Amino acid sequence: MTMESLLRKITDYKWELPKGYKPGMKVPAIFYINRKLMEILERDAVEQAANVATMPGIQKASLVMPDVHVGYGFPIGGVAAFDADEGVVSPGGVGFDINCGVRLLRSELKVEEVRPKIKELIDALFVAVPSGVGSEGRLKLSDRELDEVFVSGVEWAIENGFGSEEDRECCEENGALDGARPEVVSKKARDRGRTQLGTLGSGNHFLEVQYVAEIYDEKAAKVMGLEEGMVTVMIHCGSRGLGHQVCSDFLTVLDRAVRKYGIKLPDRQLACAPINSREGQDYFAGMAASANFAWCNRHIIAHWVRETFQKIFGMSEEDLGMRLVYDVAHNIAKFEKHEIDGKKKLVCVHRKGATRAFGPNSKEIPEKYRKVGQPVLIPGSMGTPSYVLVGTDKAMEETFGSTCHGSGRVMSRAAAKRKLRGNAVKANLEKRGIYVRATHGALLAEEAPEAYKKSDDVVDVVHRAGISRLVAKLLPLGVAKG
């Protein structure tokens, strides 16, 4: 059976898997996808989306973005909202890298000023921001300091001399999610995170120096301070080993909760608990603590990026003008009010490999962006474009204010390493004028552009579907990888 015969077409960019597809589905699954991407849509990802649709308290639909691929329990690229009273909370709907997200800095530098120094700059950034599996940063936090980070997020960084109050205002949730409780974070998770603030991590995480290649929406770009030829920096990372351990710890707890509360699930990886249960509340509190750690982590990295630019270009912070455009999370669960059946309702929205995309006039976004919508940051894959978009009213109506988060893998890391060689990937990128520095060559093979869907195809779907709108295209000059 082909995907096109399995899914019912609503528009060229929106398809439905009916709720009768699998016993127990309470809602349909809605896929934001086109025929081209449907050709590489994994059948297991379809099954996962259908499984999510069976979960207690799910609202409207199990939603799937065009960068979808198979994940743990939920598909990566999945969005699901659960009734705040009768629904569940699930680690599988958030992912292991809690609050993996993206931060974008703009600058007053032009591409012609930076290109001649790109190797020196990337090498300096590679030293300034530690990266890779188990990497440790310049900071080692006490338990008291960790507790403060868990609760206050970027505020801890600002109070300790990293970044500014203006930065906090341009973070989703102002850089701190309510509901964190440090006491639910295990000693093992604390020990993994204690030395990792200000580090990049491994895998698809990166620090990329880019430039604005094209503007699609002049008004929105002007509000964000973006102009053609301007150099930008994109930071992509999350909560490091701490968030991974918190997820692992609570999967064990919630696996027992499924049996305790008599929840029937088609897949054990969907382990969950009622939102109002002790287990559900404890998981949310640990997830929020990890999310706040991640926001603080990106905040400190951004500070060291600014310091490095000042050193390499011999310019003051004021002259560089490296302001934060926005910081978005794409592995998180949050309580939000959305209109369902004509009424505003409090729901717990799980976004796993999906980005919040709130439309114009949303009170939850900075005042300066309310006329155009929330900035949405979609990273490419090393040699491919990244994009800046804005959220829309249609996203608020259809997707709980959500859109895609990146390119989405089409090749496993193991398959990429079998097929590609890191030195060849690096040489090919350098032929195109992109300088790459990584901890080891195998990582470049795992994260090669060929291992991912084309970011152009993914953002084209969400733009044409109307759940976010294109503002600017960013092209890479140099990349530091973990």
Closest alpha carbon to 177 in 155, 197, 152: 152
User: Where do we find the tokens 């097929």?
Assistant: 419
Closest alpha carbon to 71 in 371, 286, 439, 331: 331
d(CA 370, CA 349) in angstroms, rounded, equals 21
Catalytic residues: 405
Are 98 and 291 in contact, with CB atoms under 8 Å apart?
yes
Token duo for residue 109: 């530098």
Are 406 and 449 in contact, with CB atoms under 8 Å apart?
no
Q: How many CA atoms lie within 13 A of 6 on its CB side?
A: 18
Q: Supply the DSSP symbol for 173.
A: G
Beta-ladder partners of 328: 102
Token duo for residue 381: 């894959």
d(CA 194, CA 150) in angstroms, rounded, equals 12
Q: Tell the burial category of 333 from Cβ atoms under 10 Å away from its Cβ (0-12, 13-18, 19+).
A: buried
Total residue length of the chain? 482
d(CA 275, CA 243) in angstroms, rounded, equals 20
d(CA 251, CA 255) in angstroms, rounded, equals 6
Cβ neighbours for 362, distance < 8 A, ≥ 6 positions apart: 370, 373, 374, 391, 396, 401
Backbone angles phi, psi at 184, to 5 degrees: -90, -5
Backbone angles phi, psi at 12, to 5 degrees: -65, -15
Token duo for residue 299: 């905040």
* Dihedral sign for Cα atoms in the order 38, 356, 89, 293: positive
d(CA 107, CA 306) in angstroms, rounded, equals 10
CA distances to 98, 402, 454 from 187, rounded to whole Å, are 17, 34, 40
Token duo for residue 22: 């699998």
Report CA Rg, the chain.
Answer: 21
Task: Give the Cα-Cα-Cα angle 15, 391, 42 (nearest 5 degrees).
Answer: 35
Cβ neighbours for 334, distance < 8 A, ≥ 6 positions apart: 173, 177, 348, 349, 351
